[in-house]
Amino acid sequence: MKLKAPDRITFSHFGFCPGCGHGVAGRLIAEVAEEMGVADKLLTAVDVACGSMHMNDWHFDTVMAAHGRTLVTAIGLKKTRRDNPVLAYYGDGAAYAIGMAETMHAGLRNENVIAIVVNNAIFGMTGGQMAPTSLPGQKTTSSPLGKDAVRFGQPFKVEEAFSGFDIPYLARGALVGAANVNRAKKMIKKAFEKHLDNQGLCYVELLSPCPTNWNLEPLDSKRFLLEEMTKHFPLGEFKGGDAK
């Protein structure tokens, strides 16, 4: 078997922790962009959080946005560079805490960008604080006794919040295990296809391990993701799907 990284991945400053899902997500996006022949035109916007490190390993023109404003930054960019595909890449904290208004209104207006949300159920960049996606009982640095879901709410499910929105694509994949990763790639591809057809907001959430802040070894992280996270975050396509 020959292992080869996509041409659009460079190895200059790869900063993700071992076992982190961001690296897998970045690779899948680069592969899809290449396979679909849009790598030369793709513009990306990244959040200031862990995902911003793709600025150094992606060979794409990239804008680093303010925390939680990645999606609206991408929207502004798309409305300016209308012939370029535009992808916003950010975390669950950005999407569902500080940027919740931006998330909801992009869905409501069906804004014409690709949104890739890397959900690791935690604030990774700032050292592992509780997020709106953290699981009940999940120990984080700001919920050391475990998240009290009565006080802080159940994990936020975008497919429920977006149920009434008329957007072309909404799916959730996972970045662990070959089958899941392949499926996640198909979801990203579907999002690109519909985006290139200017259908509106193409939204893919990707469950992603954060071994560092989960305080778990990479293999235990994989188990936690598949056994615990997916109980709250079902995998699949919720809108516009047929990617098997």
Partner 1 sequence: MSERVLMKGNEALAEAALRAGCRFFAGYPITPQTEILEYLSWRMDEVGGSYTQAESELAAVNMVYGASSGGARALTTSSGPGFSLKQEGISYLCGADLPAVIVNVMRIGSGLGNIFQGQGDYWQMTRGGGHGDYRTIVLAPNSAQENADLMVLAFDLAEKYRHPVLIASDAAIGQSIEAVELPEFRDHDLNKYDWPVRGAKADEPIRTVKNVFYSMGDAYEDYLRDKYAQIEAEEQRWESIQVEDAELVLVAFGISSRVCEEAVEGARAKGLKVGLIRPITLWPFPVKAFEKAVNAKAFLTNEMNLLGQTMDDIRLATGCRVPVYHSGSIFAITDTNDLIVRIEEVMEEVKGGGQ
Ligand X SMILES: Cc1ncc(C[n+]2csc(CCOP(=O)(O)OP(=O)(O)O)c2C)c(N)n1
Residues at the interface with ligand SF4 (CB under 6 A): 16-17, 20, 22, 50, 120, 124, 210-213
Which residues lie across from 116 on neighbouring strands? 89, 204
Q: Which position among 8, 27, 54, 67 is part of the footprint of ligand X (CB under 6 A)?
A: 67
Name which of ligand X, ligand SF4, partner 1, none residue 20 binds, using a CB cut-off of 5 to 8 Å depending on partner kind.
ligand SF4
CB of 218 to ligand X, least distance (A): 16
Contact partner, 43, from ligand SF4, partner 1, ligand X, none, Cβ < 5-8 Å per class: partner 1
CA dihedral 81, 73, 59, 49 (to 10 degrees): 180
**Cβ proximity to partner 1, 102 vs 237, nearer residue:** 102
Give least dist CB 124 to ligand X, A: 3
Select 61 or 217, whichever has its Cβ closest to partner 1.
Answer: 61
* 92 touches Mg ion by CB under 5 A: yes
Site string for partner 1, 28-57 (x = CB under 8 A): -----------xxxxx-x--x------x--
Residue nearest to ligand X (CB): 91
Tell me: does residue 219 bind partner 1 (CB under 8 A). Answer: no
Applying CB under 6 A, which residues contact ligand X?
47-51, 67, 90-94, 98, 118, 120, 122-126, 131
